[in-house]
Amino acid sequence: MKTFSTADLGFIIVDFVNHIPYLHSMPHNSIPSIRAFNRFYTGFLGLLDQHILESSFSLPEARVLFELNQKDSIQASEIVDSLGIDKGYLSRILDQFSKEKLISKKRSREDGRRQHLYLTDKGHKTFERLNRASDEQLKGLLKGMPEGDLTKLEGHMKGIEGLLGEKTASKTDITIRTDLRPGDLGYVTHLHGRIYKEECNYGINFEAYVAQGLAEFWKQYDARKDSVWIVEHGQRMVGFLLSMHREKDAAQLRYFILEPEYRGLGLGKKLMNVFMAHLKEKGYQKAYLWTTNEQETAIALYQRHGFVLTEEKHSEAFGKALREQRYDRKV
């Protein structure tokens, strides 16, 4: 499992502060919970101590030191952009670092008004000491936590980072796995119940419908004919799709879902492409799916892959009036 330090985790607090404007548009009942978590988290890591890890550095100073260590050279404006730190405050930190011989400054050859900042040998050694102390502190704080809980913790932290960051930020480590594991079917049911309630106002009977269908899938699961694709960011499931064998050489596409913040990244198209490749690989003659008239974005994706509307019926099965639709295509 990836090793992460107090510095890594603590920086999320700084990033959260940079995204405070989001609070103006969020439901008021979410704000107390987020603030309570912030108070717990900063206390847990000791981020409100005057100095970090019994060093001479404050949290902002340690964060600037981290940025300086990330590149061979960096400009002050890049640190401002990365941390959202006040220019005057950063200037004072850099002046102090210079006095302590932690950094050196050189004028840019292209633009004499700009300075490139470099960590000195002393600066690199200082950072390494601070980084090791951060690792050791977190090992102590998490000592005795089961491996499974550590994995969940890392996944939740990445989820927070993804939700508060830019839409495409920190999503380079998205993976798709094809094996079912304990907890997957329950989480897929949860995803459908939560997301379809939020976006379509479907009732709990829709969640029960999904649970029944997933149970049916597992009871007749055949690895030679069926497949699942589970999209993960870190250890967090953020998307799902399955192919289920039916009679007469037909496959049914079911439970296609993506967390809202992971849409627009090309994942839906990628899942449809692997589904289509699966159909050919397994020798299916046709495929079909059921959806509702409200899923306009998904329907457009299905149609781009050759699915056509073949059946439509009125339904109130999910707690509201809508039209269930069936789409078919030959392989």
- The whole-angstrom separation of Cα 98 and Cα 254 is 60
Q: Is the pLDDT of residue 11 over 50?
A: no
Measured over the CA atoms of residue 99, residue 104, residue 109 and residue 111, the dihedral's sign is negative
Assess contact for 258 and 213: CB atoms under 8 A.
Answer: no
pLDDT in tens, 89-140: 899 999 999 999 999 988 877 766 778 899 999 999 999 988 888 888 888 8
- The whole-angstrom separation of Cα 117 and Cα 64 is 11
Assess contact for 229 and 188: CB atoms under 8 A.
Answer: no
Q: Is the pLDDT of residue 248 over 50?
A: yes
- The tokens for 320 are 């509201």
- The tokens for 177 are 């796995």
pLDDT in tens, 48-68: 555 666 677 887 888 899 889
Give the mean pLDDT of 294-308.
94
Q: Is the pLDDT of residue 169 over 50?
A: no
Q: Which residues of 260-272 are buried (b: 16+ CB within 10 A; e: fewer)?
A: ebbeebebbebbb
- The whole-angstrom separation of Cα 269 and Cα 267 is 5
Assess contact for 159 and 236: CB atoms under 8 A.
Answer: yes
Tell me what pLDDT residue 142 has: 85
Q: Is the pLDDT of residue 45 over 80?
A: no
Assess contact for 99 and 54: CB atoms under 8 A.
Answer: no
Q: Is the pLDDT of residue 15 over 70?
A: no
Tell me what pLDDT residue 167 has: 46
The gap from C-alpha 165 to its chain's centroid, in whole angstroms, comes to 9
Domains with residue ranges and CATH for the chain: 6-164 (1.10.10.10), 174-330 (3.40.630.30)
